[in-house]
Structure 1
């Protein structure tokens, strides 16, 4: 599934890969429409019918992920509203063991996320995730979403890498396809990003796992090789 011995760098998505996507799903589909309904004296369902199609229309673009964009468009403080449900932020199963194994194997780990810096700060405060990886890059630093193939070329500015010895792990098939098309040698899909939702079907061309315990044994074998090889 993954050729660990050929790798030097592992790029990791955050939301839906390392962290449970339920936080974001609940926020955008339930909590935000609720607060919008209160602001505009609407029924909750009427607010959802208005807000959710507006959000979905931006899917795959940087605006989709941009807290500032939605704060301005909806006249709500998105970062503050996210903090109201911050107790839902948490790791997916086996993530801390996986990150510890990556570190022990000598692999360089970089979180590559579309998350805006403001909610990113909230999530790091809640999880300490930044202490478990070597670096974090937000697509907002580069002005392109990961779905954009050019993103991967621009990423060299902040996190130089050799494509032929890099793995990208993500729950988004469009992101993984973009990374693959940009030359990243190995891609791995997370099929169960949201603990409250059914898992995705397997991608026809990209291997997938439900949880990281499926790859931990092979990764730990790498640890026993000289210099992590």
Structure 2
């Protein structure tokens, strides 16, 4: 069992990732791995394969940094309006199963519920507009507000100063293992990941942290 009833008695703060956790990662994977290379290839008169090679190399160099997640960085670097391009495929934004019910249940239980995402504020706003999930959170936080991503230990200190959470009574659910490791190293007591962040990809195996298929498996009761 990923979480026991007794765990819910101890948990006061729940930090929830957005992409791949609350939302299907298919939108982001489609945008960055299919839509962007196609647009970039047309702009520069190169093949999609050549565009992919260029973009993969660029992404690899900044992976895990705040720039990796920054729409302004990508718009400037690629000379493309990334925010507008996301609107073109926004119909693919979708909640993962039981995401809304889970956040509502946390709210009903009186937990301090915080959306904590590495996504740029532009992406966060677009996705909240499409899902109306924001009404169930106490706070919506982009790590861009602090200038460091969740992979960086400094993030957790900055968040603590802002939110005054207690790591020993905090649950983080995130689909990225480097983020979970960072939280673990900081001392966040309860950690969960998602087996299948992208509904178009098979479930992941051999995960380091306790994993769930869907939120109905850890729904708080009572």
> Residues 148-194 of structure 1, C-alpha deviation per residue, up to 9 Å, x if partnerless?
01110111233220111100000000001101111111111112110
Q: 1:68: which partner in 2?
A: 72
Provide the secondary structure at the position in 2 that maps to 1:57: helix
Q: 1:87: which partner in 2?
A: 91
Which of 202, 208, 229 pairs up with 2:211? Answer: 208
In structure 1, list runs of 5 or more residues that go unmatched: 225-229
> Residues 31-80 of structure 1, C-alpha deviation per residue, up to 9 Å, x if partnerless?
01111011101122221121122113211111110111111111101111
Q: 2:15: which partner in 1?
A: 11
Q: 2:131: which partner in 1?
A: 127
Which of 73, 77, 81 pairs up with 2:81? Answer: 77
In the alignment, the residues of structure 1 paired with residue 16 and residue 46 of structure 2 have an alpha-carbon distance, to the nearest angstrom, of 39
Which of 50, 60, 79 pairs up with 1:46? Answer: 50
Q: CA deviation at 1:94?
A: 1.0
For normalisation by structure 2, the TM-score amounts to 0.95
> Residues 63-117 of structure 1, C-alpha deviation per residue, up to 9 Å, x if partnerless?
1101111111111011111111000011001111111111111111000100001
What's the Cα RMSD here?
Answer: 1.1
In structure 2, list runs of 5 or more residues that go unmatched: none
In the alignment, the residues of structure 2 paired with residue 158 and residue 74 of structure 1 have an alpha-carbon distance, to the nearest angstrom, of 33
Paired residue total: 218
In the alignment, the residues of structure 2 paired with residue 202 and residue 137 of structure 1 have an alpha-carbon distance, to the nearest angstrom, of 30
Q: 2:172: which partner in 1?
A: 168
Provide the secondary structure at the position in 2 that maps to 1:15: coil
Residue 195 (structure 1) aligned with residue 199 (structure 2): yes
In the alignment, the residues of structure 2 paired with residue 176 and residue 97 of structure 1 have an alpha-carbon distance, to the nearest angstrom, of 23
Q: CA deviation at 1:119?
A: 1.3
Asked if the contact 1:202–1:208 (Cα under 8 Å) also holds between the matched residues in 2, the reply is no
Between 1:68-77 and 1:39-48, the stretch displaced more is 39-48
Provide the secondary structure at the position in 1 that maps to 2:62: coil
Asked if the contact 1:191–1:202 (Cα under 8 Å) also holds between the matched residues in 2, the reply is no
Residue 179 (structure 1) aligned with residue 183 (structure 2): yes
Asked if the contact 1:137–1:158 (Cα under 8 Å) also holds between the matched residues in 2, the reply is no
Asked if the contact 1:191–1:201 (Cα under 8 Å) also holds between the matched residues in 2, the reply is yes
Moved over 6 A (4+): none
For normalisation by structure 1, the TM-score amounts to 0.92
Provide the secondary structure at the position in 2 that maps to 1:168: strand
Provide the secondary structure at the position in 2 that maps to 1:79: helix
